[in-house]
Amino acid sequence: MNNGKYKYYTIQLRKKAENTWCEEESPIIEIPESQREDWGTFSWDTFGHTAEPWHGQGNDYRPKYNKSHDETHEVWCAVGYRGWWSLKYAEKALKRLETANVLGKFDTLDGYRNLCRKVRYEFRIVKIKVSKKTKVIT
Cα dist. 4→10, 130, 134 in Å? Answer: 18, 8, 9
- Assess contact for 116 and 109: CB atoms under 8 A: yes
Q: Cα dist. 134→2, 75, 79, 137 in Å?
A: 8, 17, 12, 9
Domain of residue 86, residue span:
4-132
Bridge partners for 120 per DSSP: 17
Which of 18, 48, 19, 54 is CA-nearest to residue 36? 18
pLDDT recorded at residue 1:
60
Q: What is the pTM of this model?
A: 0.85
Quick check: is 138 in a domain?
no
- Per-residue model confidence as pLDDT tens for the chain (138 residues): 678 899 999 999 999 999 998 888 889 999 999 999 999 988 787 888 888 888 888 888 888 999 999 999 999 999 888 899 999 999 999 999 999 999 999 999 888 988 899 999 999 999 999 998 888 898
Residues composing the chain: 138
| Domain presence at residue 137 | no
Amino acid at 97: L
Number of domains in the chain: 1
In a domain, 76, yes or no: yes
Q: Residue 73: inside a domain, yes or no?
A: yes
23 assigned to some structural domain: yes
Q: Would 74 be classed as within a structural domain?
A: yes
Cα distance between residue 52 and residue 50, in whole Å: 5
Nearest to 118 by CA among 24, 13, 14, 12: 24
